[in-house]
Amino acid sequence: MVADRSVEVSPFGDGGRSLRGFVVSGRWPASTKEWAQFLALAVRLAAVPGLVPTTAVYRSVDDVPQNPQPGTVGLVTLAGPVLGDGAPAPGHFASGAPSALILLHPPTESTPSTPEAQGAASGCVLLPGLPHLGLDHRAAWVEAEADGTVTRLVSQVGVDPAQDPDTAVLAMLLAA
């Protein structure tokens, strides 16, 4: 039963100070709420100065690392910056669409929702659906400060990707 196993998340880096992704163990998040909780953790890390140097895209993959710990189910890995060298091109994920795409904005590239949240990081997770089959797109947005305080958390079912810049970017990357 899904509820009997928890979702466990461990961040990993490149040996320096850059966030390269997350190891997911136990099971994948099974709902928009669980993906929003995952995103809250990711954005809290993005708020740490230097961990996410520029706005970046992460994708879920069913691959596991070499010699995985028992219970490892997959990875959420850095696909690249949203712009510039190494950025994924539109349609990059079309052949193997991930179950989740995440956009993380470091504090230097995030616009806070309130003046009190100055220096906060933000992010969005898009869970692509198949609207023509009745499976809506889902998404969540989180903003968090460097001390871990979540200053904004919103989740939504029935998302029109064109209505939000973050979901529009992620949907564009999925488009063929």
Q: What is the arrangement of strands in the sheet containing 121-127, beginning at the earlier edge strand?
A: 8-13, 19-25, 72-81, 56-61, 101-105, 121-127, 138-144, 150-157
pLDDT in tens, 58-79: 999 988 888 888 899 999 999 9
Does residue 21 register a pLDDT over 90? yes
pLDDT in tens, 156-169: 888 888 888 998 98
Contact assessment for residue 20 and residue 77, using Cβ atoms and an 8 Å cutoff: yes
The band of 1, judged by pLDDT with boundaries at 50, 70 and 90, is: very low
pTM over 0.85: yes
**Model pLDDT, residue 135:** 64
Contact assessment for residue 20 and residue 12, using Cβ atoms and an 8 Å cutoff: yes
How far lies 111's CA from each of 67, 88, 103, 150, 156, in Å?
40, 23, 14, 14, 20
